[in-house]
Structure 1
Amino acid sequence: MQPYAGHSAVPDRRSHHPAEISHDRCLIPFDRREGLTTAEAAARANRTERTIRMWCRDHDIGRRVAGGPWMVSRVALAMHLNDDAAALRSYLVGDRKGPTVTAYFAAEGLGDLVERWRTCTA
């Protein structure tokens, strides 16, 4: 069966059963410094913007903030590009304090966000 316009022939592997829906915490809490436009993410990943939007949909590395255009987490993108599924899973369930996730924030020059969030939730 051929896909129709705008839809991929590759099935979406995410579960849509209510008990299995991931707790997508990408860009939450939101800080603009963590976000990239799809154009910026495409340049960083050496891919097309369409591919980045598909990754946002299929791998939860970005989200639409306030119903606007896609914003891509530079941290989640780095995890995806490094094929670090364990770190991405931790990030997506809201881990902002574990060593694996904080290492990505630090590598992206966003270590101060982690420190700020620690003091806000402490």
Structure 2
Amino acid sequence: MNAPIENSESLPDVTAGAWPILMQRSDIITLKEAVHRTGKTDRTLRTWCKLFGISRQTNSGAPIEISAPALEMVMHGDMEALELLRSGNRHHPRVRRFFDHLGLSV
């Protein structure tokens, strides 16, 4: 999958069995902030969070916390960088460029 798909309800869950993305406090944005940054709808972002495993939610009533670098990777269709991030390789040049782009430290 090279780019995010708007209507992804019919796609299988890409992250089934995948390890979660470990997030540092500075990496996290809210769903509202993600909507503002991307111009996408709340529904689209919720779908991306589930499909690509780029968020966490401690329980059903808790706010969704989204990894800003992971969201950026999904927006750019860079699934290789996303998998490197998922594996914890934050210093790989392909991953680091997204952190640099967002002004975040790795």
Alignment check: 8 A CA contact 2:13 2:52 kept: no
Alignment check: 8 A CA contact 1:63 1:70 kept: yes
TM-score between both structures, scaled by the size of structure 2? 0.79
Closer, same or farther: CA 48–101 of 1 in aligned 2, 3 Å:
same
Alignment check: 8 A CA contact 1:22 1:93 kept: no
Closer, same or farther: CA 9–58 of 1 in aligned 2, 3 Å:
closer
- Which residue of 62, 78, 81 maps to 1:84? 78
- Could you say which residue in structure 1 is the equivalent of 2:101? 107
- Could you say which residue in structure 2 is the equivalent of 1:23? 19
How far apart, in 2, do the equivalents of 1:35 and 1:63 lie? 10
2:6 equivalent to 1:12? no
Higher fraction of helix: 1
- Which residue of 33, 38, 43 maps to 2:36? 43
Shift of 1:103: 1.3
Alignment check: 8 A CA contact 2:54 2:70 kept: yes
- Could you say which residue in structure 2 is the equivalent of 1:75? 69
Q: Write the letter of the residue equivalent to 1:23.
A: W
Closer, same or farther: CA 40–15 of 1 in aligned 2, 3 Å:
closer
Q: Write the letter of the residue equivalent to 1:105.
A: F
Alignment check: 8 A CA contact 2:49 2:55 kept: yes
Tell me: higher relative CO, structure 1 or 2? Use CA pairs within 8 A at least 6 residues apart.
2
Over the aligned positions, Cα root-mean-square deviation in angstroms equals 1.8
% identity of equivalent residues: 31
Q: Write the letter of the residue equivalent to 2:14.
A: R
Match of 1:39, SS state, is helix
- Could you say which residue in structure 2 is the equivalent of 1:3? none
Q: Write the letter of the residue equivalent to 1:88.
A: L
How far apart, in 2, do the equivalents of 1:72 and 1:45 lie? 13
Match of 2:90, SS state, is coil
- Could you say which residue in structure 2 is the equivalent of 1:54? 47
Match of 1:23, SS state, is coil
